[in-house]
A and B are shown apart, each in its own frame.
Chain A
């Protein structure tokens, strides 16, 4: 493999690892379920997708095992399924009655209305 190929794979691996680190820092430091889910479902997904793209660049489109095209399929799968999973988890948390951090409230209930 030549130098430009290796440099591109190195850059994508560095970007992906950085996004994984940022997403996990958000998972540990945010005060609320919804904030944590936001951090993981955006940053961690971008990191894993960048690593998949590094795999696609490294293996290339002409590999016998077909790992490059499988990596592209993995990117599409992550972008389709991780927001769906995050939405389902947030619905479950809202049904369990997990409260917000601070003085935030759901959009359809008024905190000044005593009938809620």
Chain B
């Protein structure tokens, strides 16, 4: 589906990519300066969701549907890493 996008849709997707990238950098502030460890985990979770959004926007921009699959895999990895870090923080080991 490599058709030419309309001008307003191209502008909207560019603005969405800029917003999602900037928001990822802003969430990195919470990862660096968070007072406690769960703050950093929440910031990393937000970063993972924003990267999924960037992947979907890039799929719409280029017309390649495979990037939606990449976004789904990133969402799965983010969920598993969140569970693992939370268990490690609370219990001291992941698999007992």
Contacts and interface: CB of A to CB of B under 8 A. Distances in A.
Interface of A: 1, 3, 6-7, 9-10, 13-14, 16-17, 20-21, 23-24, 27-28, 33, 36-37, 40-41, 44-45, 47-48, 51-52, 54-55, 58-59, 63, 65-68, 70-71, 73-74, 77-78, 81-82, 84-86, 88-93, 95-96, 98
A73 B86 contact: no
Interface of B: 1, 3, 5-6, 8-9, 12-13, 15-16, 19-20, 23, 26-27, 29-30, 36-39, 41-43, 45-46, 49-50, 52-53, 56-57, 59-60, 64-66, 68-69, 71-72, 75-76, 79, 82-83, 86-87, 89-90
Contacts of A23: 23, 46
- Summarize B's interface: helix, strand, loop or mixed: helix
A6 B29 CA distance: 35
Contact of B56 (A71, A77, A88, A92): A71
B83 A85 contact: yes
B19 A21 contact: yes
Given A17-B20, A40-B42, A51 B89 contact: no
